[in-house]
Amino acid sequence: MKRTLITAILTGALLSTTMYADRPAQRQKNQQQRIKQGVRSGELTKRESVKLEKKEAQLHREIVRDRVDGGGLTPKERVKIEKKQDRLSQQIHKEKHDAQKKR
């Protein structure tokens, strides 16, 4: 019984750590889709989408660099990336809802 309980706890901890480790990549994917949807719907102009894509690419390069230089993301790097992703998400929202339409 104890062995089963310990195995279940360790499995749960491993799965949650794995999901948390890939969170920046999932958020990045979601933000890319939001940008594409904004272009398709006309909520984002060409200029806005280029600007957002450029910021997204910069953030992606930073994530890759941080993962490579230390064998993964440190908690400090993860917090920094989450904050940058939050700001980018706010910028996407702002640009999609600023009443400019594709011409």
Per-residue pLDDT of 57-86, as tens digits, reads 999 999 999 888 877 888 999 999 999 999
- Distance between CA atoms of residues 5 and 3, nearest Å: 5
Residues 6+ apart with CB under 8 A from 38: 44, 48, 49, 92, 95, 96
Report residue 68 CA to chain centroid gap.
17
**Matching residue, tokens 């690419």:** 57
Q: What are phi and psi of 45, to 5 degrees?
A: -80, 170
The stretch 14-22 carries a mean pLDDT of 52
Average pLDDT over residues 25-37: 93
Token output for 22: 């890939």
- So what's the pLDDT on residue 16? 45
